[in-house]
Copies of this chain bind each other. A is one copy, B any other.
């Protein structure tokens, strides 16, 4: 059994981790921290966990965290970079679900997040936790930086095209939409049901913090000599709880039949347990992956023109956060990669 603690368990990635870990056969949950709610039973905050989790939220305590095998950070950015160095020094392995260790370019991180980075040397050593690209490094990593939700869906959608150098890197356009759980469990007026039900809007179109992560990730898979990718990324807020749908556009470098695009995607993801290439002509639905670690993708070439359209869906809290974190844990600890992640999505 892996002894696991969670730092910051009161948000949506926290409760999603708990949902998955409380029934994971190889995990023993030892602690869930929350300064604000220390002493409160976890199942009082999250009634779905009644009967599944007897823990109370507790104050963070380095000794206790360091005594286990693995610590998940499900905290806002800024927290992990302050606390992880000590844990790493003590030899604990860490999976950080926040943005703290995703970017290798520290000045870029500091520019987008508006604060100094407290542990730049760790950011250097952290392994980016996208198993479809980085599986071997994840297996041996001490610190894994779990990808953001939009970056996961968008990278998985474009990776086959960029690896193959099939599209022009300066023509990348990502129009994506997320369920409201992606904005977190915060009491903000603009996230009320009364503000968002029967409503749809873009946000942060001028610049979203996931943009540099997306471009860094795509850059990494390009063949040598390729131009750096430039992505226009517009996120939208959906009147629903869970799910990300990324609609991706790119211009072909040269003619490539739709059938070959389909075969390329199928080949690239044939061995991947959590990427499902849909049959040609399909439109993946967010509900088909709800609550699961699956990413479903389709590729099309409308009107046989020179723009390739890729559609990619994930559950923002699952493959976009907590379930991918569990996938990384499985890889890090030599478990079956799909363990605890086998359930089909709830449909309808």
Contacts and interface: CB of A to CB of B under 8 A. Distances in A.
Contact of A201 (B189, B191, B241, B284): B284
Contacts of A230: 305
A248 B66 CA distance: 50
The 6 residue pairs across chains A and B that have the minimum distance between CB atoms = A175-B175, A48-B345, A48-B347, A47-B288, A199-B287, A193-B193
- Which size class do A's interface residues fall under? 35 or more
A193 B198 contact: no
A247 interface: yes
A267 B348 CA distance: 35
Interface in A186-229: 186-189, 191-203, 205-207, 211
B175 A247 contact: yes
Interface string A29-58: 000000000000000001111111000000
A108 to B, nearest CB: 13
A346 B180 contact: no
Given A179-B198, A198-B287, 18 more contacts: A19-B345, A19-B347, A48-B288, A48-B292, A50-B296, A51-B294, A180-B194, A185-B189, A185-B192, A185-B195, A193-B239, A193-B241, A199-B243, A200-B245, A207-B302, A230-B305, A234-B311, A242-B348
